[in-house]
Structure 1
Amino acid sequence: MRGALTADGCSVSPQYEGKPHHVFEVVFFPYYAAWTIGYVVSVLAPRESASLIGVVVALLFAMRLSGTNDPTLKEIKDYEGVESWPYDVAFPRYGVEAFYVSAVRFYENVPFGFYDYVPDDGSAIFEGTKARQEAYKVNGTESIWMNIDGGLRGAGYDTGEYSDDLVGMWRSAWIWAVIGYICMALTNNDKKK
């Protein structure tokens, strides 16, 4: 995505620089997982308070099980056994990492957009895409534009785990769907025909 110029010539860049299909994936998988958790809440909670309980469960998942607060995602990844189970079935733990990684992965390599590049010798400003690609090559390999891995790893994120995060959200959704089905089969037997 390219930025737009405002009337005063300032560049306005969009917030999300990822690929369009990543936006769909990062929205669809958490939506599906949240829907299955909502199904569990609707089976177990009384009709009068199901909405309130659903909001509380959503906040619990978003604030306590996502890895954005305490414990952090880096700490969660170090958990083992029973201690890791609540985080393994919580889709926000995967969704937050997938969204963040898909948004910043764009910055790993040089973006061939509207920015100008001045070579080290100061000889010229390359404006064409082909010339810009050649200018960014060092010893025949594409140079790194920004080293984002250090900051990501410090927070517990890993650019190589995007696909694993999608699988984790899918797995979380299916686990909650099975839990919902079991709860439906075992509860409210007096109301079933």
Structure 2
Amino acid sequence: MSRVLFLHGASSSGKSTLIQQVGVQSPTPLMHLSIDHLRDSGALDVGSYAAKGVRWRDHRAAFFDGFHRAVGAFADAGNNLIVEHILDTDCWHADLQQILRDHAVFFVALHTPLSVLQTREAARGDRPKGSAEADYHNIHNGLDYDLTLDGQRDAAANAGILLEKWEGFQPPGAFFR
């Protein structure tokens, strides 16, 4: 059974910054899986779809199905993971519950005020305007978490809290509710 830290928060909430600190402070190695890594490496170039006259939306479901299966494959192979994700599509949580059913998933919410999300989104300039607000209003609805953190708090402090709580975590957790 692999240990999976599943970090869920709106776009621009501070997930990547928090995970960097978790990696620094963690006493054990963790594999960090994120759509941002695929985008930043060029493996996923959403802009190339439009440039070739293809709608990304028509391929989005297949892409995320593959990403979710890859997360499961890494966990099934015995890797301890940090998964950075935004569950913005209704079926994803249920799909991932099935895929990760044999693993100890610690489900963490990163809540960040809307005004902070909007400021960060504008400063980044690499996200569609309004995506953080759309996430803010939708992604946490109806979900229970093992831990909720404040995205305005210092990332190093949040990482310390997260690692302490994760150390004492006993599955099954909130991810499977």
Q: TM-score range by the shorter chain?
A: under 0.3
Larger Rg: 1
TM-score (norm. length: structure 2) = 0.27
- Relative contact order, CA 8 A, sep 6+: which one is greater? 2
TM-score (norm. length: structure 1) = 0.25
